[in-house]
Amino acid sequence: MSGAQVSWTGWAADPVGPKSAEFHRDLAKRNALRFRPGLPEDGKFDELDRDQIVARAEIEFVESLRRTVAPLAAAIPAAPNDFIAWFEQLKETGPGQGDRLFPWLATSATVEQMKWFLFQEVAGEAGFEDLLAMTQVRSRQS
């Protein structure tokens, strides 16, 4: 097994670092290969070694995100009225506010790009409230 084939896993613990885009891109490529239909004899023996390295990197990535949000989660008020005030304030100060993604989606994304974004958003959790919210979003026609 070539170390170069999985060297990108070394950046798993830095989710916003300079190599994070490379980590995500290569993880997506690896998962596309891993989930491609095939017969056992089509696989290579060293795939198991790579899968183990990638799985450890995925765990490291998730744990790094957990460490990042732990202080935020610890600051969530427990009292109902305090929680409501904190929650309502998130629309002004919450994570993601001011992100360039949302103005781009609103003003520049093509219909195909918007479809891709929505597909990513509902891929793991298409609850009724998500589907209802999407029907209420106005989008320009192309």
DSSP track, 41-78: GGS-TTHHHHHHHHHHHHHHHHHHHHHHHHHHHHTS--
Residue 109 lies in a domain: yes
Are residues 75 and 126 part of one domain? no
Structural domain boundaries, residue 28: 1-79
For residue 2, pLDDT beyond 70: no
Q: Is the pLDDT confidence value at 90 over 90?
A: no
* Domain total of the chain: 2
Q: 23: burial class by Cβ within 10 Å (0-12, 13-18, 19+)?
A: buried
- Domain identity same for 15 and 63: yes
Task: State what percent of residues in the chain have pLDDT above 90.
Answer: 25
Pair 70, 96 in one domain: no
Name the pTM for this structure: 0.59
Q: Report if residue 136 sits inside a domain.
A: yes
Residue 142: pLDDT band with limits 50, 70, 90: very low
CB 56 within 8 A of CB 9: yes
**Whole-number pLDDT of residue 107:** 93
Task: Please say if the pLDDT value at position 139 is more than 60.
Answer: no
d(CA 99, CA 24): 19
Q: What is the pLDDT of residues 65-78, one digit of tens each?
A: 999 889 988 989 99
Residue 39: pLDDT over 90: no
